[in-house]
Amino acid sequence: MNGDLHREHATILRAAIGIGVYAAAFGMSFGAVSVGSGLSVAQTMVLSLVLFSGASQFAFVGVATAAGSPFAAIPAALLLGVRNAFYGVPLSEILHPRGLSRLWTAHFVIDETTAMAVSQETPRARRYAFWATGLILFALWQLGSLAGALLGTAIDPADFGLDAAAPAVFLALLWPALARPAARWVALAGAGLALALVPFVPAGVPVIAAAAVAVLAGLKTGSAAGPTDLAEETR
CB 60 within 8 A of CB 51: yes
CB 63, CB 202: distance < 8 Å: no
Q: Which of 19, 56, 13, 59 is nearest to 144 (CA)?
A: 19
What's the whole-number mean pLDDT along residues 114-137?
A: 94
Q: pLDDT at residue 227 above 50?
A: no
Domain boundaries, the chain: 2-162, 180-235
Do 169 and 31 touch, CB atoms closer than 8 A?
Answer: no
Residues whose CB is less than 8 angstroms from the CB of residue 201 and which lie 6 or more positions away in sequence, other chains included: 209
Residues 51, 56: Cα–Cα separation, whole Å: 8
Q: Which SS3 state, helix, strand or coil, does residue 161 take?
A: coil
Q: pLDDT by residue (tens digit) across 1-51?
A: 577 888 999 999 999 999 898 889 888 888 988 888 888 999 999 999 998
Q: Which residue has the higher pLDDT, 57 or 214?
A: 57
Q: What is the pTM of this model?
A: 0.70
Q: In this structure, are residues 17 and 136 in contact, taking their beta carbons and an 8 Å threshold?
A: yes
DSSP letter at 45 equals H
For the segment 183-197, what is each residue's pLDDT rounded down to a tens digit?
888 889 988 988 898
For residue 146, what pLDDT band results from cuts at 50, 70 and 90?
very high
Q: Residue 75: which of 85, 60, 88, 86 has the closest Cα? A: 60
- In our burial notation (b when 16+ CB lie closer than 10 A, e otherwise), range 212-230 reads ebbeebeeeeeeeeeeeee
- What are the helix (H) ranges across 37-122? 41-50, 54-67, 70-81, 83-95, 101-106, 111-118
pLDDT digits (tens, 9 = 90+) for 63-87: 777 655 666 677 767 766 777 787 8
Crossing angle of helices 54-67 and 41-50, rounded to 10°? 140
CA gap 123, 57 in Å, rounded: 31
Compute the distance between CA of residue 201 and CA of residue 172 in angstroms, rounded to an integer: 26
CA distance 161 to 184: 27
Task: Give how far Cα 45 sits from Cα of 56, 67, 88, 132, Å.
Answer: 14, 21, 25, 22
Mean of all residue pLDDT scores within the chain: 80
pLDDT-derived band at 152, boundaries 50, 70, 90 = confident
Please, which contacts does 89-96 make with residues 24 or more away whose CB atoms are closer than 8 Å? 90/114, 90/117, 90/118, 91/117, 91/118, 91/130, 94/118, 94/123, 94/126, 94/127, 94/130, 95/127, 95/130
Query: Does residue 176 or residue 18 have the better pLDDT?
Result: 18
pLDDT for 194 equals 83
Mean of the pLDDT values across residues 113-142?
A: 94
